[in-house]
Amino acid sequence: MIHNLVLRRLRYALNLKEADMQQIFALAGHKIKPFSISCLLKKEDEAGYVECTDAVLEKFLDGLIIHRRGPREGATPPPAARMNNNLILKKIRIALELKEDDLLEIMDKAGFGLSRPEMSALFRKFNSRNYKPCGDQLLRNFLHGICEHYRPKK
């Protein structure tokens, strides 16, 4: 999945300004300039586009978790070696405090039907027998559903 798309969709859905995003990055210990944020938010074919790395997206999602839920007690988990769609989905779920019913409702709003067992398989550990990898289409629909959930069309 293109990490820049994740940033753009979350920014739109949660109605975040670039200054808000800068504060969210700062909560995760990542200093970033507003100009860099605007470059990350550009589309691939626009001038000045900068590709969002795994580390930058992880810092944003971790900062979003702290912004929405407060700092974590105890030791912070080590950074992920590679951000995959399952981890992105999990971090968004944690940040927005979404329960299973909320997730299913969001997927329905996106027009992407998902059963409870399929949903729970996305959040299992990688080596679990029932683990299901989250595809790009599923994550894209989830992000679209979040936009519909938080900013419904009038």
How far is Cα 43 from Cα 41, in angstroms, rounded to an integer? 7
pLDDT in tens, 73-102: 876 777 777 889 999 999 999 999 999 999
The predicted model gives 51-75 an average pLDDT of 90
Residue 7 structure tokens: 């940033």
Share of the chain above pLDDT 70, in %: 98
Mean pLDDT of the chain: 91
